[in-house]
Structure formats: structure tokens, C-alpha cells
Amino acid sequence: SECCLLHFICQYPVLPLQERAEG
């Protein structure tokens, strides 16, 4: 699950993810 998620994020770095990292 984590691997898949990581791969997805790596391929498609969504904005919400960065926002979460900031907040």
C-alpha cells in the first residue's frame, strides 16, 4: 500500500500533498 502510494505521489505529485506537508 505504502509503496503504491509513494509511487503514485512520485508520478503525480498533487498539490494537496504539498499543502499537507506545509501545514
pLDDT confidence of residue 10: 64
CA 12 to chain centre: 7
pLDDT confidence of residue 1: 53
pLDDT confidence of residue 6: 67
Q: What angle do CA 3, 17, 20 make, to 5 degrees?
A: 120
Sequence-distant (≥ 6) Cβ neighbours of residue 15 within 8 angstroms: none
Q: How far apart are CA 4 and CA 23, in angstroms?
A: 24
pLDDT confidence of residue 11: 66
pLDDT confidence of residue 7: 67
Cα separation values, 11 from 6, 7, 8, 14, 17, Å: 9, 6, 5, 9, 13
pLDDT, tens digit (0-9, with 9 covering 90-100), for 1-23: 566 666 666 666 666 655 555 54
